[in-house]
Amino acid sequence: MKQSTNGKTQKTANGFKFKSPLVFAITLGGVFFLNSCCSFVIPPVTLTGNKTAIEKQIIGEQNELEKDVWMISSAKTAGKVEDQSKDPKATQDQKLKTEENRYTNEAFLIMDVYVEKLAKLKADKVVGEDNKGYVASLIENETVRKSLSKEILEKYNPQFEDDMEKGKDYRTLKETVAQINIARDLIIQGYMANQQRAGSKKIKKEEVGIIQKNKFHEASLKGEYIQDASGNWSQKN
């Protein structure tokens, strides 16, 4: 008589842990309340009748992410503010506030998920703060690569992207950079909506990006990479 064994399902090696450690005091001078869920842009995976090992791995990682995003979103709906953007009786100020909250809510949800990963990537010197207010991958930057150890170069080797095991860290790098930049863009849009609601002088998106860049450069830790106005990368002193 054959006995069946049940394998234990473990969290993916990407290891999404969400302790909500985010202290985001550098949101350009505003404290925003969360009021809506966000949607994540996940790279498409071509599914066939017989899924390859790498497809199963990526799908597993994405499923874990979706579960955690749902939990974060559910935990924060207690402070939800009613969406008045479509209410014909809502004032322009109320509509702008709803728009502002939507942008910043989505940004915070993304940051909650990826903030620990970003910190690790910066510590490994494979991601840095660029000169426009966003983050950038440095694993293929020839100047930076010269300062990286063989272990780090192997760990984040782009050639391993489609390898189920060896490619996990590089896939995490790509996904984290993409999602953090989506959050950074949402922060800028939220700030601009806030300024419009306050009746302040209209400010360009690029100008807000520079303000954001300065904040994140100041917040960077010693040894992390930042990009100067000329496009050169160096470690913060």
Q: Residues 91, 46: contact at Cβ < 8 Å?
A: no
Tokens of 129: 């703060």
Closest C-alpha to 122, from 143, 142, 136, 140: 136
**Within-domain flag for 226:** yes
**Within-domain flag for 42:** no
User: In the prediction, which pLDDT does 173 show?
Assistant: 98
**φ/ψ (deg, to 5) at 105:** -60, -50
User: In the prediction, which pLDDT does 160 show?
Assistant: 96
- Please tell me the distance from the alpha carbon of residue 115 to that of residue 180, in angstroms, as a whole number: 8
**Within-domain flag for 151:** yes
Length of the chain (residues): 237
Average pLDDT on 18-24 reads 36
Per-residue pLDDT at 225 exceeds 60: yes
Closest C-alpha to 193, from 22, 23, 26, 28: 28
Query: CA-CA-CA-CA torsion for 88, 94, 98, 99, nearest 10 degrees?
Result: 90
What b/e sequence results for 122-133 when a residue is b if at least 16 CB atoms lie within 10 Å of its CB, and e otherwise? bebbbbbbbbeb
Give whichever of 54-58, 63-67, 157-161, 188-192 has the largest mean pLDDT.
Answer: 157-161
**Within-domain flag for 19:** no
**Within-domain flag for 45:** no
Give the domain extent around 134.
53-235
The per-residue pLDDT of the chain, averaged, comes to 73
Closest C-alpha to 126, from 153, 89, 161: 153
**Within-domain flag for 4:** no
**Within-domain flag for 150:** yes
Per-residue pLDDT at 218 exceeds 60: yes
**Within-domain flag for 43:** no
Residue-wise pLDDT for 80-102, tens only, equals 445 555 556 567 667 767 777 88
Overall number of domains in the chain: 1
